[in-house]
Copies of this chain bind each other. A is one copy, B any other.
Amino acid sequence: MRIGLDIGGTKTDAVAIGAGGRELARVRRASGFGADQVVGCAEEAVREVVRRTGGRLTDVTGVGVGIPGVVDAATGRVRHAVNLGVAEVPLADLLSKRLGAAVIVENDVKAASLGAWHLLRLTGSAALLNVGTGLSAGIVVGGRVWRGPRGTAGEIGHAPIDPAGVACSCGQTGCLETLASGSAIARMWRTDAALPAVELFDRADAGEAAAMRVRGVFVDGVAQAVRMLVLSVDVETIVIGGGLSGLGERLQTPLREVFHHWAAASPFLASLDLPGRTRLLPAGTPAAAVGAAMLGTVPQFA
């Protein structure tokens, strides 16, 4: 069996995948904070999910890890995993020694793109557009993650699309992430609500003008991200994931409206069939963990 780990800012998910891609077991734990705890928690999650399958660690043919931050996929080193309190850690090496199994590490969004590709039974090429605190995409071609030589493939969150936009944390101005992300909503919609995006969409549904305007900016930004992926990489399917995809139909419906509005103005855009190629990742889909488990099963791009 293969094990996939999704180490998030608050929780670590582990799945065990058997022959034919079948899920054998799944566990969830609170993530640690700081390199030592993160590695320790990951080790325990692997041991626990293996135990639940009734098997043993020696049955594990490979472990894959998806984690936020900058990942050197070749060495398995992780840097700048800020939400986990990790400045830098040789995660693959440490985890591999503790488990006695080969460990592959990948950025969580890239891992999730591979997981979505498998779980949604996609073929050809696809992107997972992760609309979370930030905005980025993972790209899969023929079952392989396309990282690009520097690992910035799909980093469209930091593509500027408005010279008159606001400053972005990356030092540029008007990046897509300043419109289409949780941090963008937090900036545009000041509230003490626990779930600012849900409150925003509730108020917009109720007809509150300010909320409708902010929702419009956000949804237009998500639509622009889809368009940019199609006009640069050209993947067949764009799957929207990340925390904000949990809005479900409330996001998808206005998103389709933006696409139809664009198509009415531009025959070229109409020919791209953006509504037909864009879908949401169903809530609760363990895309990053399953994708992490699948990382070692296909050769990397040369």
Interface residues of A (CB under 8 A from B): 124-125, 141-142, 146-156, 158-164, 170-172, 224, 227-236, 262, 265-269, 272, 301-302
Contacts and interface: CB of A to CB of B under 8 A. Distances in A.
A195 to B, nearest CB: 29
Contacts of A149: 124-125, 234-236
A141 B233 CA distance: 12
Contacts of A229: 232
Given A160-B161, A162-B162, A163-B162, A153 B232 contact: yes
A228 B234 contact: no
B171 A265 contact: yes
Contacts of A232: 153-156, 159, 228-229, 232-233
A106 B18 CA distance: 43
Q: Which 3 A-B pairs have the closest CB atoms?
A: A148-B234, A171-B266, A232-B232
Contacts of A158: 231, 268
Number of copies: 2
Contacts of A301: 141-142
Contacts of A266: 170-172
Contacts of A150: 230, 234, 236, 272
A151 B233 CA distance: 10
A268 B266 CA distance: 34
Contact of A164 (B164, B235, B302): B164
A235 B272 contact: no
A122 to B, nearest CB: 11
A267 B168 CA distance: 12
A262 B125 CA distance: 32
Contacts of A235: 148-149
B153 A234 contact: yes
Contacts of A163: 161-162, 164
B153 A233 contact: yes
A171 B231 contact: no
14 contacts: A125-B148, A125-B149, A141-B301, A142-B302, A150-B236, A154-B232, A155-B234, A160-B161, A161-B161, A161-B162, A162-B162, A170-B266, A232-B232, A233-B233
A238 to B, nearest CB: 12
Given A149-B125, A234-B149, A224 B160 contact: yes
A81 B232 CA distance: 22
